[in-house]
Amino acid sequence: MTVVGCLGCDLIAGRRPLPGGILHRTASWVVSHVVGPLNVGTLVLSPLAHVTAIADLPDAATAEFGPLLRRTTRVVEELGTPEQPYVCLWAHGPGHRRHLHFVVQPVTADLVAAHGGLRSERLQAAMLAAGVEPDPTEVERFCAAARARFADEDLPARGLAAPGEALRERGA
Ligand SMILES: [Zn+2]
């Protein structure tokens, strides 16, 4: 089911512009770049169908979700140096539920530093309040690279690259 006027449905169906386009799709999900004032490289996993509650996800979509989430975080780990990729789901409009969209946000040391050391939900709140949209050219560049990474079936597990390992060893 697609709902006209639902941002998620409209983006997936091409009724609204989606910078970077669809990066990857499974039978039940699409991955795209976030629309809104978060940093370049922040991706969104949305069910193709208009689903507004995790409790309502069909079995097939539920089974696809874990591998897709892992794959998506591997892509953002490959394309940047996040201290930690955040994963969150709000999908909460004023007084109503919205189309599910899991946000995968690569949070780097530089991003934290640029926001006075804020982390987690406080960092996101500051970014949303500031309202600074990512540069469209950078979004397109990131998405081209991400699309290629998603197409690579042999994308390796993370935990191999030195910077992330070093951070983990320091107990960050
Ligand atoms: Zn929808």
pLDDT tens, 128-153?
Answer: 999 999 999 999 999 999 999 999 87
Domain interval for residue 125: 27-153
Q: Is the pLDDT of residue 85 over 90?
A: yes
Distance 86 CA to ligand 1 centre (A): 23
Distance 8 CA to ligand 1 centre (A): 5
Q: Is the pLDDT of residue 68 over 80?
A: yes
Query: Does residue 5 form part of some domain?
Result: no
Please provide the distance, in angstroms rounded to a whole number, between the alpha carbons at the two ends of the chain.
43
CA angle 40, 121, 104 (to 5 degrees): 40
The residues whose Cβ lies within 5 A of ligand 1, an ion, are 3, 6, 8-9, 50, 99
Query: Does residue 159 form part of some domain?
Result: no
Polymer length of the chain: 172
Query: Does residue 158 form part of some domain?
Result: no
pLDDT confidence band for 154 (50 / 70 / 90): low
Domains held by the chain: number: 1
Query: Does residue 171 form part of some domain?
Result: no
Query: Does residue 89 form part of some domain?
Result: yes
Distance CA 50, CA 7 (A): 10
Query: Does residue 78 form part of some domain?
Result: yes
- pLDDT at position 149 is 96
- 91: domain CATH number is 3.30.428.10
Distance 61 CA to ligand 1 centre (A): 15
Residue 43 in contact with residue 104, Cβ under 8 Å?
A: yes
pTM of the model: 0.88
Q: Is the pLDDT of residue 158 over 60?
A: no
- pLDDT at position 152 is 85
Query: Does residue 99 form part of some domain?
Result: yes
For the segment 27-51, the average pLDDT, to the nearest whole number, is 97
Query: Does residue 160 form part of some domain?
Result: no
